[in-house]
Structure 1
Amino acid sequence: MERRVEVSEFLRLKRANISPRDVGLDSPVRNRRVPGLRREEVAQLAGVSADYYTRLEQGRDITPSESVLDAIANALRLAAAERAHLFDLARPRRTDSRAVQRVRNGLHHLLDTWTEHPAFIVGRRTDVLATNALARILLTDFDSMPARERNFTRWMLLDESARRLYVEWERVAAELVAKVRFDAGRCPDDPRTQELVDELTAKSPEFREWWPTRQVMAHSNGSKLFNHPLVGALEVDYEALTVPDEEEQTIFIYTTQSGSPSEQAMRELARHAAAGRW
C-alpha cells in the first residue's frame, strides 16, 4: 500500500509542475482548476486511457508495463533519476536491503594511495563506508563517529561545522536529501533508511521542508565550494564512480583545477593530513 501511495504522490507532484505549453498542448491557462497538466492530458501524451492513468495516480493495485512507464515518464518530461525512481516505485526490484555494506580491502588500499585527492565511498542512504586521510581533513572524520552516525546527509543537516564548511550549503544539503529519497525508492523496506528519515524529520527543519517535495537525484559529477578553517576558499570538482559488482557503493573523488589557488590550498591541506594535523 505504501508503495502505491508513493507512486501516486510522485506522479501528482510531477504533473503539477508542467504547464500545457511546456508539452505543446494548446490549452488556455485561464480558469484551469489544477496546477500543471490534467490527468487526461498526461494520458493523452502517454498514449494510455485516461481511466488507466487515473487509477495509477490514485494508487490502485495495478502494475504498469515498462513501455507504459516509459511513455508516462516522457509525457512528464522526467529527468534520468526521476525516470529511474518511477520505475523503482512502480516495478520494485528484489533487493537485500538488510545486508551489511562492506568495502573490499582493495578499495580501502586504493583510497589510501590517493594522497593528493580527497576520496571516499558512499553506500545506501548516503552512509559513508570508507574515507582517505585527505577526505577526513577536508570534510570531517567520519571514521571516528559511531557506526550508525556515519551518514553524509545526517552530518550535513545536523552538524554546524558542515554549514560553515559549504559555501552553498543549502544546495548541497537539498541534493543529499534528494539522493536519500532516490535510495528510499530503490530499497523501500530498508529499516535503516526509515530510521534516518525519522531522525532527520524530528531534528531538521530543512529536511521537513524538502522531504515532502519528493525531489530525487543520483550524483554523477559536479563542483563544490568550501570555506575551510585551515586553508580558506577551495573549489573542487567531483566524479562519482559506481564500484564494480557493488552497484550500491559509489566512489567520490575530488580534484582541483591545475595551477589554481584551489590546487595550492589542496596541497597545503594534504600536508596537514600527512602530518596528522587536524
Structure 2
Amino acid sequence: MTDQDRRRVLAEFLRSRRERITPQDAGILAGPRRRTPGLRREEVAQLSGVSVTWYTWLEQARDISVSRQVLTSLARALMLSSVELRHLFALAGERPPEQPPVRGPGPALQRLVDALAPHPAYLLDANWDLVGWNSAEAGLIGDPGELAPEERNLLWLVFTDPAMRSLLTDWEGQARDLVAQFRADARERFDDPRFDRLTRELREVSAEFNEWWQAHDLADFGSSRRVFRHPRVGLLTFDYVKLAALDAPGVKLFVCMPADEETQRKLPALATASKNV
C-alpha cells in the first residue's frame, strides 16, 4: 500500500466513523435544520481540539502529519473501540498504544490446554509468567500451582529450581538460549515494572543469568527440541511448538510434541508423575 493509498483509506475510515455517531451520542444539540448524517467535520474538530481546516484536510487524504496525541483525541471524539483505535494508528503509520496487561487466559483457552493432554502444554504471558498449564506439564516440571504466584515464571524456575538443572539434560545450553529468546521477546517491555523486577531479581540470585543477560545475546524462537531426564518416567524428548493466542494479547501457547515412539508411549504416565517422587 502506497502512502497515498494509506491516506485515502484513513480518510474513508474517519468519514465512516464520523457518520455513524449521532449528535446525541456526542452530547451535541442537533438543531432543526440538519441534513448531514452523523457529526459534521467542524464538530469532530471541536471535540478533538484541532482546527476545522486540518481535520478537513485529513478527510481529503492530504499529505499532513498526525501526532499520537491527536490520534488519541480523534479516537476519543469518534468513540472508537480498541480494535478501531489500533486500526487508526496503523493507518496513520504509528505504533498503537500499549494494551492493558493480560491478567490470565480465559476459560476457553485453559480448556484447550487441558484438552491437549497427555501432551504437556502451558501458557506464558509477555513476561513469561506461567498463566495456564495442564496435568501433563505439571507432571513434567512439577505443579506450578504449588508455588507462590511471583515464582510461577519459566525463567525463575529454570534458574532457581535445582530440580530443573537435573531435569534438563542440556541445562546450560537450554537456559542460555532461553535468556536470549526472552531478551528478544521483551524488547518493547523494558519499562514494564514486572519485567524490571523479574530481571533484577534473577540477576541477583543467579550468576549464570546475570552473565548471560549482560551478554545481550538475542534469539528468535524456533521449533526446538528438549531432552528431559524425568525422575519417574525416564528420558523424554519433545519438540516444542509455539502459538500466539490472538484473543489474549501477549499470551503464547507452548505444546510439547513427542519426538520419538518411546516418549509417545510414556506420555500417559506424566499426568500423575511428580518431580518430588
Cα offset, 1:216, TM superposition: 2.0
- What does 1:1-278 align with in structure 2 at a 5 Å threshold? 94-96=97-99, 99-257=101-259, 260-270=261-271, 272=272
How far apart are the structure 1 equivalents of 2:235 and 2:169? 9
Paired residue total: 183
How far apart are the structure 1 equivalents of 2:150 and 2:102? 12
TM-score normalised by structure 1 residue count:
0.61
Identity of aligned residues (%): 29
Cα offset, 1:92, TM superposition: 7.4
How far apart are the structure 2 equivalents of 1:139 and 1:93? 37
Task: Note if contact 1:95-1:187 (Cα within 8 Å) is conserved in structure 2.
Answer: no
Identify if the C-alpha distance between structure 1 residues 217 and 92 changes in structure 2 by more than 3 Å, giving closer, same or farther. Answer: farther
3-state secondary structure, aligned to 2:204:
helix
TM-score normalised by structure 2 residue count:
0.61
Runs (4+) off by over 6 Å:
none
Most deviating of 149-158 and 171-180? 171-180
Computed over aligned residues only, the root mean square deviation of the Cα atoms, in angstroms, reads 2.2
| CA distances 1:122-145 after superposition (whole Å, capped 9, x unpaired) | 111211110000000101211221
Task: Note if contact 2:243-2:252 (Cα within 8 Å) is conserved in structure 1.
Answer: yes
How far apart are the structure 1 equivalents of 2:95 and 2:174? 28
Task: Note if contact 2:135-2:270 (Cα within 8 Å) is conserved in structure 1.
Answer: no
3-state secondary structure, aligned to 1:130:
strand
Name stretches of at least 5 consecutive residues in structure 2 with no aligned partner. Answer: 1-93
Task: Note if contact 1:179-1:218 (Cα within 8 Å) is conserved in structure 2.
Answer: yes
Larger radius of gyration: 2
- Partner letter of residue 95 of structure 1? E
Name stretches of at least 5 consecutive residues in structure 1 with no aligned partner. Answer: 1-90
Cα offset, 1:227, TM superposition: 0.1
How far apart are the structure 1 equivalents of 2:141 and 2:258? 15
Task: Note if contact 2:102-2:125 (Cα within 8 Å) is conserved in structure 1.
Answer: no
How far apart are the structure 2 equivalents of 1:182 and 1:257? 27
